[in-house]
A = this chain, B = another copy of it.
Amino acid sequence: MTLPAEQTGDGATTSAVPPSQGGPPARRRPGGRTSRIRTQVLGAVRAELGERGYDELTLDGVAARAGVHRATVYRRWRNVGGLLADVFEATGDDDWQPQDTGSLRGDLAALNHESQAALTARPSIAAALIAASFRSEEAARGVRRLWEDRYARCEVIVDRAVRRGELPPHTDARRLLVAATAPLYHQLVLLRTPPDPDLPDQTARTAVLAASAGAFVKSPPDGQVV
């Protein structure tokens, strides 16, 4: 879920979408010129996506914006799918961690504030990457891995709350995290409602109340609906 802010080369805010946890081995990242070109090119991809959208994304446009020779871009990334896959790879390849505010509710609210900021930035790279995931298989795979990684990193929020005695030990961290974050994405991305400044806190509070009432305890004693 959380798509934390990250600066692109153009100063636009983007959202982080990391690679799989425990997935394929990390690529070697040579430093120097190759690394600098990658940074320039991926920054240009994010900026083009955020400002112009997926339909306008071309290797030539990216090369021009990055100030990199187009032959280099074609050789290394081949096509738009290759560029997108590498944007997701790079976005997830960071040291992002959720904030530690000292309480479950504070941690979840901070997470939601971060996501809301990323989704409502103009342009929003986070929103552009999500939109791209409905148009490209590479982007869909990238988004899926990034969400997976981000939720895995956020499980520490639940671990800390269990250690503090705020939550029972057998709390399903993933379900709690999804409940705490889904309404924000639902409103902003699917329902396309204007951002509500109270929503990040409200949603965090709701999840904490549900958790305190035992909503996320594994193997709930009552599986019936009515």
Contact = CB atoms under 8 A, between A and B. Distances in A.
B105 A226 contact: yes
A206 B216 contact: yes
B204 A106 contact: no
Contacts of A183: 175, 178-179, 182
Interface stretch (A19-27, A72-80, A83-91, A130-138): A130-138
A214 B225 contact: no
Interface of A: 1, 101-103, 105-106, 109, 130-131, 134-135, 140, 143-144, 147-148, 175, 178-179, 181-183, 185-187, 189-192, 198, 201-207, 209-210, 212-216, 220, 222-226
Q: With a 10 A CB-CB cut-off, give which of A109, A182, A203, A214 has the most chain B CB atoms.
A: A182
A160 to B, nearest CB: 14
Contacts of A147: 190-191
